[in-house]
Amino acid sequence: MIWPEFRLHSIAFGTRHVITTVLSLNNLWPQNLWLHALTRAVIVVGTIQVASIITKKWGCREKRTTNAMPYPKSVTPEQEQEVKSGYTRAQFSATKACQLPDATMNFAPLLGIQMAPLLMTLVRKGKATSYTYHRVYSASLFLGYVMVFIRMIMEPHLAVVAFAVMSLPTSKIRKYTSPVVLGVVQVFFSMIVCPLLINPFLEMFISDANQDLISRLALIAAVVTCARQCEYYRPLFMATESSASKQLSMSNDAGGLSFTSGIGNAAEFVFPLAAILYVGAPKLMSMLQEYSEHGLQTEL
């Protein structure tokens, strides 16, 4: 189940996050804006080029990581496409995370990147099923989002930068350009456009008085995004082997409306919860800060 192409891709993209995390932890990024952008571009585009070389040498159209990856029998073709869509969006988000000015955010996607080959090895050795693979892998991707959002809630200034960087619709732009061009566009937008234009504009409306508001908005964004991720991966956790034929029949009868109704059900849950969290955000933030300060005091 684990192929040389995927194994090498995992090493290449994992190394990307290790390098950016180490540079952020030790504050080794160049201070000059353009040199900083060039360094990020070399890491992002260089990884894409290495991945392309790996694909040319070891790639196989019949057995690619997304095409040949087995799914549980209870997951319908429509649901499988939604799960794959969640996986794809997580890959684009991982590239964006490399361009954020925080070591935790740089490190967050590494869990999912390294979890996949481990799970594939366990499946190949008969220690895990394909159901276990997809459930644990999707959970690891979900935790990456959680790590990023916790940092956004605790550090409002990071939330402003992250919102700007994450706003670029890379998954839609990818249809019209090559991965290398997309990587250059991402870095230029994140490292040049955001610091020079978008961030100063946003900071005009930010003061010490409304830092709490930013954290609340970050918390709402976290809830909505996480709910969306749950919707992508819901079939992996809700379905059972015995319900395979029933699910397929319901999906065909509904004409593909099951996913839309799922979004409606998620919305009914998300927005009331978001309102509650908006009110309770200050208490949650104070608890996180107290926990962080207590941890630092314990280490000292």
Q: What would the two tokens of residue 199 be?
A: 């961030």
CA distance 17 to 187: 15
45 domain residue, yes or no: yes
Amino acid of residue 235: P
Res 298: pLDDT = 55
Nearest to 149 by CA among 265, 25, 281: 281
> Phi/psi class of residue 100: alpha, beta or left (left: φ > 0; alpha: ψ in -120 to 50)?
beta
Q: What's this model's pTM, rounded to 2 decimal places?
A: 0.74
60 domain residue, yes or no: yes
Domain that holds residue 43: 4-72+79-204
47 domain residue, yes or no: yes
Res 53: pLDDT = 92
219 exposure class (CB count in 10 Å sphere: 0-12, 13-18, 19+): buried
236 domain residue, yes or no: no
Res 246: pLDDT = 44
Q: What would the two tokens of residue 230 be?
A: 């749950």
22 domain residue, yes or no: yes
CA distance 268 to 249: 26
Res 61: pLDDT = 55
152 domain residue, yes or no: yes
CA distance 289 to 253: 51
CA distance 299 to 74: 48
39 domain residue, yes or no: yes
| Burial call 102-115: b when 16+ CB within 10 Å, e when fewer | bbbbbbbbbbbbbb
282 domain residue, yes or no: no
DSSP-derived secondary structure for 243-284: GHHHHHHHHHHHTT-HHHHHHHHHHHHHHHHHHHHHHHHHHH
How does pLDDT run across 167-212, given as a tens digit for each residue? 777 777 777 888 888 888 888 988 888 888 877 776 666 655 566 6
Overall number of domains in the chain? 1
Regions of the chain short of the pLDDT cut 70: 1-2, 60-69, 202-215, 239-300
